[in-house]
Amino acid sequence: MFKKALLALPVAMAVGAAAQAGEWQDPNDVLQNLLQNNPDSAYLHQSEMNIMMMPDNPALWLIDEGEELFYAERGPNNVSLEGCDFGKGPGELEGAYVELPRYFEDTGKVMDFEMRLVHCMKELQGFTSDDPAVARRHGNGSDIMQLTTYIAHQSSGMAWNPPLDHPEEQAMRDAGEVLFFRRGGAMDFNCASCHGDSGKQIRASVLPEMRNGQEWTKAVSWPAHRAGHDNVRSQNHRIRGCVWQMRHAGIKADTPVNTALISFWNDAARGEPAVLPDLKR
Amino acid sequence: MFKKNAVAAGMAAFASVALTAGCAVADGSKGSDVDITAMSAEELAEHLIFETDSFRDQEMQEGGTWRDRMTQDELQKACSMEGDPDGETAGRVVAMARASYEAPESIELGDWRKGAELADSGYGYRQGHRTDDHSQREAGGNCYNCHVFDPRVSDQGTIGPSLQNYGANRGTSEAVLRYVHEVISNPHQYFPCTQMPRFNSDRHQLLSDEQISHIMAYLLDPESPVNNQ
């Protein structure tokens, strides 16, 4: 049943008029538009193979599994995640992913997507930090990545629009910007060392420029199947990898440095359509 | 979109109770007592790094703690801006870099073959979920991530300028040797707030003088493939 809906939806969307900012769009259609609008972007056009594979993106296979997990009654409390509020109300997933991080009254702090998901799995379903459902963050087989892919997919094609109305949302976004440019670690790098210019390469990888919205929306569009890893990866996994390559200290999951960075980088893609899930090199 | 409305309403009512109850338990998910809106963005960034348990408590390969590695020195602070430094900052950074540089008594080129290996190695100083073990493998220079030396060897980056035929175009005079040693040791002496790491400075000793002499040979030795393209 889920599968039929999954296959029907992109077709229905494709025949509709040109999608607007608020409308769901098949991730491949979003990518095709980005490619057409930016014929000179070496970043967007770097892998003909990946562009060709996009309609058969292996990340799409996690959507069904994530949907089953979302609605299954699980954990010590034997409840589904339909009570989880990602900011649009309990169980309301459409457009929720592109409006994170945000401030949540119930926890009194700004939370990014993964932090919020883990919060719900613990508080609603009763999982503990040691349960594999919560402890395993990476890889196609992890509950977290399956749930992430399903939930993020409900925002595909919608414009990044993380709220900044609450003073803590603005504060975390601004701190994230400072962190982005903060030189440090064993090699003096900041995020802008790699993402300050368009068309530059680290070895064979063409890098996205943060101030180029149409490059940056693809850059921050995780979950994405990473061809080189043969696994679907998250925004948090990207941060961990970057910080590791930058020779800063090892960053932990569910921590405010992640949240601040994601607050800034989703804001930097504001107004541009998300590719969810994406496929990357 | 794929949601099942039938059960959603009832679950939502249950969940709001559960969430309220959950809020009373700390479990690390409660907001901290610190008012983050009272801080400047710079203060909050420092607070997030050092006071929120965001980094693993590990010993770094160069010695010291994660805190030491994440604490900025004056040059890092001066260069933490978007884009190029203004004139005043650039002058200050050059002065800082020059003041801390110690020129060796003499500079000789090492073995370009060893230099090629170091330039083409990205191993070393990575820390966290996996940690580079320097007792198992020598740390490299990471040069190939950003500079093209010899595209026949590997895919090489373009963040820095291409160094193809570097020595062929400049020769190996004493002045060239001194300049290249200065740039590799602390490039801010010539390029204030460059993205290039300081490989041997008051802050970092990522490469020894011997390793630098090998990389210099790779760049400058007339026999090196860098100079025969």
Distance CA B55, CA A185 (A): 12
Average pLDDT over residues B187-204: 97
CA A267 to chain centre: 13
On whether any CB of chain A is under 8 Å from the CB of B44, the answer is yes
pLDDT confidence bin for B29, thresholds 50/70/90: very low
Per-residue pLDDT, A21: 58
Per-residue pLDDT, B33: 77
Name the helix (H) or strand (E) containing A15.
none
In a domain, A19, yes or no: no
Does residue B22 surpass a pLDDT of 80? no
pLDDT confidence bin for B162, thresholds 50/70/90: very high
Name the helix (H) or strand (E) containing A245.
helix A235-245
Question: Cα distance from A67 to chain B (closest Cα, Å)?
Answer: 8
Per cent of chain A over pLDDT 90 is 92
Per-residue pLDDT, B23: 37
Concerning whether A242 is annotated as a catalytic residue, the answer is yes
End-to-end CA distance of chain A: 32
Distance CA B142, CA B120 (A): 6
- For the sheet with A231-233, list strands across it: A231-233, A224-226, A278-280
Its domain, for residue A87, covers 25-280
Per-residue buried b or exposed e for A232-260, using 16+ beta carbons within 10 Å of the residue's own CB:
bbbbbbbbbbbbbbbbbbbbbbbbbbbbb
Per-residue pLDDT, B31: 58
In a domain, A165, yes or no: yes
On whether any CB of chain A is under 8 Å from the CB of B63, the answer is no
Domain boundaries, given as residue ranges, for chain B: 87-130+140-227
Query: Which of A142, A25, A122 lies closest to A81, judged by CA?
Result: A122
- Which tens digits make up the pLDDT trace of A110-144? 999 999 999 999 999 999 999 999 999 999 999 99
On whether any CB of chain B is under 8 Å from the CB of A42, the answer is no
Residue among B4, B5, B7, B11 with most chain A CBs within 10 A, to mutate? B11
Say how many domains are in chain A. Answer: 1
Q: Which residues, in sequence order, are CB contacts of B87 under 8 Å at separation 6+?
A: none
In a domain, A154, yes or no: yes
Q: Is the peptide bond before A55 cis (omega within 30 degrees of 0)?
A: no
Strands annotated E in A17-154: 102-104, 109-111
B70 contacts on A by Cβ (under 8 Å): 184-185, 248-249
Q: Which CATH number fits domain B87-130+140-227: 3.40.50.10490, 1.10.3210.10, 1.10.760.10, 1.10.630.10?
A: 1.10.760.10
In a domain, A147, yes or no: yes
Does residue A259 surpass a pLDDT of 90? yes
In a domain, A5, yes or no: no
Average pLDDT over residues A43-59: 97
Per-residue pLDDT, B58: 96
In a domain, A4, yes or no: no
On whether any CB of chain B is under 8 Å from the CB of A189, the answer is yes
In a domain, A11, yes or no: no
B39 contacts on A by Cβ (under 8 Å): 171
CATH classification at residue A252: 1.10.760.10
Q: Which residues, in sequence order, are CB contacts of A55 under 8 Å at separation 6+?
A: A28
**Residue from A120, A191, A194, A242 carrying the catalytic annotation:** A242
Strands annotated E in chain A: 102-104, 109-111, 201-202, 205-206, 224-226, 231-233, 278-280
Does residue A170 surpass a pLDDT of 90? yes
Average pLDDT over chain A, rounded to an integer:
94
